[in-house]
Chains A and B, each alone.
Chain A
Amino acid sequence: MRIALIVLIPFIGAVIPPLAIRAGRNVCTAATAAVTGLALLLLLTDVPAVFSGRVPGLRVDWLPQAGLSFSFFIDGLGLFFAGLILVIGLLIIIYARFYLGRTDSMGRFFCYLLLFQGSMVGIVLSDNILLLVVFWELTSLSSFLLIGYWHHLPASRAGARMALIVTGAGGLALLGGMLLLGHIAGTFELSELLTRGEVVKSSPLYLPTLILILLGAFTKSAQFPFHVWLPHAMAAPTPVSAYLHSATMVKAGVFLLARLWPVLSGTPEWFLIVSATGLVTMVVAAWIALFKDDLKALLAFSTVSHLGLMTMLLGFGTPFGVIAAVFHVLNHATFKAALFMSAGIVDHEAGTRDIRRLGGLRRLMPVTSSLAIVTAASMAGVPLFNGFLSKEMMLEEAAHTVYAGQAWLFPIFATAGALLSAAYSARLVWCVFLGPKRQDYPRHPHDPPLGMWLPVAVLASAVVVIGLMPAIVAGALVERTASAAVGGALPQFHLAIWHGLTPALFMSGFALTGGLALLWAYSSLERLRLALPRPDGMTLFQGSVAGLVRSSRFVLGSLADGGLPRDLAVIVLTTAGLALAGYVQAGPGPLAGTRAALPATIPAVTGWLVLLLACGLIVRHHYDRLAALIIISVIGLVVSLAFLQFSAPDLALTQISVEIVTTILLLLALNLLPRTTPDESSTAGKLGAGALATTVGVGVAALAYAVMTRGTETISDYHIEQSKPAGGGTNVVNVILVDFRGFDTFGEIIVLSIAALTIFALLDSALHGAARRRIRTLRFLPRAGDPHPLLLTVVTRVLLPLSLVVGIYVLLRGHNMPGGGFIAGLIVAIALLMQYMASGYVWAHRRARMDAHAMIGGGVMLAGAAGLASLAFGRPFLTSTFGYFHVPLFGEIELASAMAFDIGVFFTVVGTCILSLATLSRVEERAEQASKQTQVKTGTGAP
């Protein structure tokens, strides 16, 4: 449980900062730091266990059917990354306290930051790879929120969107890759998966799995060509850049490569893809970084370059590569976070972070300058600082790497990368801190308060201490981490400054001197850069997004143009095509089966004739909307008679009541619409549609005939058999609705209530604004007759109690005889609608004791509560039970818990019908009033 708490504490603690900010900024910071500190403390209690070789873990099933479990484990790799995330997080929180301005909402910022922290710790401690993907997505989301923190700036919003799209797309690919990986290995638990590397690597699905997972890792870790999002993410506040976009989140991809190293690495595919991507990223990003004038942009591209370095090292597939990569993760996190924070200080104090406007800060900001120079030296790979050590290990590995038969490729380009890295570090130091003092800083620069430079100092001292005594300070940690990543024993290695006169030493020396030389030749280099093509990431990205939008619009537009004919044609053609393919595949066979046909009775033949004639008639009269509605009612009547004929009284009752409600609804709508449909189709289009309809109709008829003449076994036999013993009701239709398929029904009534509320909301807008003005222009013809005829009023009022009794009766007996909540709801709704029609909206509405909204909400809640009640007895949601009780006067009666559910359905149906129809009529009422007023006005205006 303690392990899960390490992950959950930041999530739970995320609610604290927005509350604590009411007590002031210092309290808020202290509270946030306390949350992180608590998580860190819990993590530290596991350190002895991990270093003694044990792997503490926890597993709770979440969705076992999908392989998803809530499981965590701490091994060396997880401990290393989690420690890094929490320690740097703590420093960042202190730094952010002083960085954020008075107008920035600190509570919101820390809330997002803690959400991110929890997700990130979740990634590195997850034992289940699907759980890992969940946390992975959460980091993308929280990163989106943090980049867009200053949401009033367009650059922030654009950068946040871009990061979300790129990393979100990568996350999708990763999910696919993880599902494949789990499928191949037969487990989703990392602790088991890591031992099944051979199975994975020999699988034919290995390559697609690898590519999908790499897509996830490369987008997250900003590898070429997905690196475009990272520089734009620098629109975030500097603490975010330092934390997410240099020290932790962008390392998630590197972490993933290290985590899955035993499973995926060691194949030619892995080596060819991963190491080359890393190398290209390292060199290209370092080249771009050299020419950036914005301090943060320079650091961003440098981060991309260093991430490329780590990726390349992991791509080598050698244990030494892993050791170097892990070591560089640690070193890079220390010097880069410190550099970002220093850049933030410079920006904060000098008022600009443009290199061309800075210089000579060494004397004005001595503390910041010394810290920044130390960390930049580490970035450049100067000896005695930690960056030098891991960079030399990298050069050593690259020196004897043969790529595709080319022994020169990696050594030369790796040296070039190191050289460019030295060059941009030197440029940063030279242009910002050294050089002559200037007079035109936007603000007068001076050292910031202690709280702002202390976190930098902590990191800078780590840079120096690790640089001087690598084996003592970091040796055990790197060893433990790398052996966990490799998943076995490591070869002998020793972290030291001096390794003798190795090729790496010469490469390193060449890189340092070459870097300085490059700076000297900067202006001619700049000309070279301007001559080379410089594709802009944002433009390319926006272009490709626009292209995607265009192509999906094209596909969508050709499938559905917003008109019903096109939609139906696509659906019908697809269905027909699939059916035809099935028929062709199965081969020809006799159409008729062996089952004997029923005799054709006179009513059946009559019904068939009526149906045929009505359908023909509707083709002729479809443009006349009222006539079409009348004919549809006839068809509905015949269909409900057919249901009755085939022993489905429930369906017949439902059909006839739905018919009535639909007719009223359509008549209400028709009053606001033209009476005829304009003729828009060409003759050829009509003929084509007719041919399609006829063909498909004949096909469906043949299919129905073929199925009905064969005795097939369906699930309904099982349902009919189990209805009484399992569901306690003899009406199988109702038992299916409220018990066997209760979850379905529950979903349906929710959909129903959403639809009713949507109708209400949409029509409510028809009473205001543009829609209202348009409705006011409608002209209604003068009306004949009485709005509320006496005869009708009296009859419907007398009929009301009778209908209500019938409705309740149908509801109560529904479990055993035809009926149930749905039919009863419709009957009662019709009874109430009759009052609306006969006595008027105002009269009926005033007497309605129950609000339609309350009926809908109460109905859904009742149904939900009836379902939840079964949880109290330890049974799954919506399990129903029933019993027989003896009630005096009534005798033996049966009570099923499904009854409560059915009553919920009943209320939802009544509420939905009343709400949607009454709202529509209210709009019409307003429209007619407006129309009358204007008519009166024009009438008086005329002579």
Chain B
Amino acid sequence: MISAACSFAIVAISVSILLNVYRLVAGPDATDRILALDTMVVNAIGLIVVAGIMFGTAIYFEAALLFAMVGFVATVAFCKFLLRGNVIE
């Protein structure tokens, strides 16, 4: 049962990643692309967690934790750049 659920989740996440890529390609603004990247990081974390459940290892969860902890920093930096120019002021 759990493996079927995982497979379904993986397909769903893969599709959403491809949708993110569509936004990345289509744009048209830098803001759209930054959002695409941010969402893609979220999806990647989801993918890692699902993979961790599937293979039953804790290592994947740790990786997901780290992705979550540092992944948003890039988004913040991009946003500050767009709004303020200087990232560290």
Contact = CB atoms under 8 A, between A and B. Distances in A.
Interface of A: 601-603, 605-606, 609-610, 613-614, 617, 626-627, 630-631, 633-634, 637, 641, 644, 649, 652-653, 656-657, 659-660, 663-664, 667-668, 670-671, 780-781, 783-785, 787, 792, 799, 802-803, 806, 817-818, 827, 830, 833-834, 836-838, 840-841, 917-918, 921, 924-925, 928
Contact of B84 (A653, A785, A827): A785
10 contacts: A603-B51, A614-B24, A664-B77, A667-B78, A668-B87, A671-B81, A802-B69, A806-B65, A837-B88, A841-B89
Q: Give the 10 A-B residue pairs with the shortest CB-CB distance, closest first.
A: A921-B88, A606-B14, A785-B83, A630-B33, A667-B81, A836-B88, A663-B74, A783-B84, A667-B87, A664-B77
B17 A606 contact: yes
Contacts of A928: 85-86, 89
Nearest to B15: A606
Contacts of B10: 601-603
A34 to B, nearest CB: 62
B86 A671 contact: yes
Q: Is the interface of A mostly helix, strand, loop or mixed?
A: helix
Given A633-B37, A660-B70, 6 more contacts: A664-B73, A664-B74, A792-B76, A818-B62, A917-B88, A918-B88
A651 to B, nearest CB: 11
Contacts of B69: 799, 802-803, 806, 827
A44 B9 CA distance: 91
B89 A659 contact: no
Contact of B80 (A656, A837, A925): A837
B48 A617 contact: no
Contacts of A784: 83-84
Q: Is the interface of B mostly helix, strand, loop or mixed?
A: helix
B63 A644 contact: yes
Contacts of B83: 783-785
Contact of A634 (B37, B86, B89): B37
B17 A610 contact: yes
Nearest to A841: B88
Given A630-B30, A653-B66, A667-B78, A602 B11 contact: yes
A578 B10 CA distance: 43
Nearest to A641: B44
B74 A925 contact: no
B50 to A, nearest CB: 9
Contacts of B18: 606, 609-610
B37 to A, nearest CB: 5
Contacts of B40: 610, 634, 637
Given A610-B17, A613-B21, A641 B47 contact: yes
A51 to B, nearest CB: 78
Interface string B18-47: 100100110100100110110011001001
B85 A656 contact: no
A610 B21 contact: yes
Contacts of B73: 660, 664, 830, 833-834, 837
A637 B41 contact: yes
B70 A634 contact: no
Contacts of B13: 603
A686 B24 CA distance: 25
A633 B34 CA distance: 10
A21 B40 CA distance: 73
| Residue in A626, A637, A925 with the greatest tally of chain B CB atoms within 10 Å | A637
Contact of A614 (B21, B48, B70): B21
Nearest to A636: B74
A668 B70 CA distance: 18
Contacts of B21: 609-610, 613-614, 634
Contacts of A671: 81, 85-87
Contacts of A921: 86-89
Contacts of A836: 88
A806 B10 CA distance: 28
A582 B64 CA distance: 43
A780 B89 CA distance: 14
A830 B69 CA distance: 10
A841 B89 CA distance: 5
Contact of A925 (B36, B47, B60, B89): B89
Contacts of B60: 644
Contact of B77 (A649, A667, A787): A667
Nearest to A925: B89
A799 B66 CA distance: 12
A917 B27 CA distance: 29
Contact of B59 (A780, A818, A841): A818
Contacts of A637: 37, 40-41, 44
Contacts of B88: 664, 668, 833, 836-837, 840-841, 917-918, 921, 924
Contacts of B85: 671, 780-781, 783, 928
A924 B86 contact: yes
A630 B34 contact: yes
A630 B29 CA distance: 11
A247 B51 CA distance: 82
A925 B30 contact: no
A840 to B, nearest CB: 6
Contacts of A630: 24, 30, 33-34, 37, 78
Given A613-B25, A634-B37, A641-B44, A837 B76 contact: yes
A353 to B, nearest CB: 67
Contact of B81 (A670, A781, A806): A670
Contacts of B62: 649, 818
Nearest to B22: A613
A661 to B, nearest CB: 9
| Residue in B30, B60, B89 with the greatest tally of chain A CB atoms within 10 Å | B89
Contacts of A785: 83-84
Contacts of B44: 637, 641
A779 B89 CA distance: 16
B37 A603 contact: no
B30 A627 contact: yes
A841 B84 CA distance: 14
Contact of B30 (A626, A649, A827, A841): A626
A827 B63 contact: no
